[in-house]
Amino acid sequence: MTGAEIQYDAEGGLHHFLTIEGLSRETLLQILDVAETFIDVGHREIKKVPLLRGKTVVNLFFEASTRTRTTFEIAAKRLSADVINLNPLRLSTSKGETVLDTVNNLEAMHTDLFVVRDSYSGAAYLVAQHVPPHVSIINAGDGRHEHPTQAMLDVFTIRQHRPDFDNLKVAIVGDILHSRVARSQIHALKILGAEEIRLIAPKTLLPTEVERLGVTVFNDMKSGLRDVDVVIMLRLQLERMQGSLIASEQEYFNLYGLTQEKLAQARPDVLVMHPGPINRGLEIASEVADGPNSLILSQVTNGIAVRMSVMALLLGGQSMRKEH
């Protein structure tokens, strides 16, 4: 069974959320539409809805990520779920217990949903194959594979400003080779019908045969940014690099860092995004990150609503699906 097949239940609703690849356009639009209904929850005096009251969500992060874990925690609590965060340094896996042993023990405590993050590709899929039918899994990032909720919050943010994906030209810039975010973004944008997806990076930071993903590749920043509607900058993942893939950080910024001068090649109303955390002066200049075209903080805010949407669709059952 593929990652796409395992995600749907017998009625065709979402049961796991492991990968964007293979999902239908209708599923992605449903996630975006439900997220839209949750946006105003953060502005209420009491920032909660009772949808998942009595449900238990476990954030199982074998790889640390404060931003992602925190937004998942806030999202679950706003849905009134009980949330458990596990410190990877204290997990039983450090005592020789496997990931599946850890999950099985936690499931025996009546967990309804696991949010899994791991440095190994396929970790969330492995867990999804071994949990009982009533338990759901969300992939919060696995190795170089995918980060599906990040991609969904990115396209949600884009849709707030550019609702017509058919005419959209998007440039994804930077460390494509190590980025699970880029892979999920490409799948999501293609499913939603984006007109053109461009990847801009040095050859050393591009996967082999990347054109098979249906993208256009540029090694020159200014050429790649010409007339685009959206620019998504990626974090330079120095901790994942083996060997010298860039000559120096200063040279990388000179060639691929987003400055106002380079941004001038794009459309005047271009949207600037970054999944974070930002390395200022390496991937993006502060004047651009904090400028009028930047949606970086909106991405953070929208991440809560989108993750609420995914959890609601996984655990909310038929009631959520009929409403939307």
Contacts of 258 (CB under 8 A, 6+ apart): 173, 231, 233, 272, 283, 284, 285, 288
| Fold agreement between 3-146+301-323 and 148-295 | yes
Sorted by where each begins, the domain ranges of the chain are 3-146+301-323, 148-295
Q: Average pLDDT in the 290-300 region?
A: 97
Taking only the tens place, the pLDDT of each residue in 83-141 is: 999 865 545 555 556 778 878 888 878 899 999 998 888 989 999 998 999 999 999 99
CATH of 148-295 given 3.40.50.2000, 3.40.630.30, 3.40.50.300, 3.40.50.1370: 3.40.50.1370
Q: Average pLDDT in the 55-61 region?
A: 94
Helices (H) and strands (E) in the chain, counts: 13, 9
Q: 174 near 236, Cβ under 8 Å?
A: yes
What does pTM read for this prediction? 0.92
pLDDT at residue 12 greater than cutoff 50 = yes
Q: Average pLDDT in the 25-33 region?
A: 97
**Residue 250: count of CB within 10 angstroms of its CB:** 12
**Residue 31: count of CB within 10 angstroms of its CB:** 27
Distance separating alpha carbons of residues 324 and 318, to the nearest angstrom: 10
CATH 3.40.50.300 for domain 3-146+301-323, yes or no, is no
Beta strands in 121-214 (DSSP E): 136-142, 169-173, 196-200
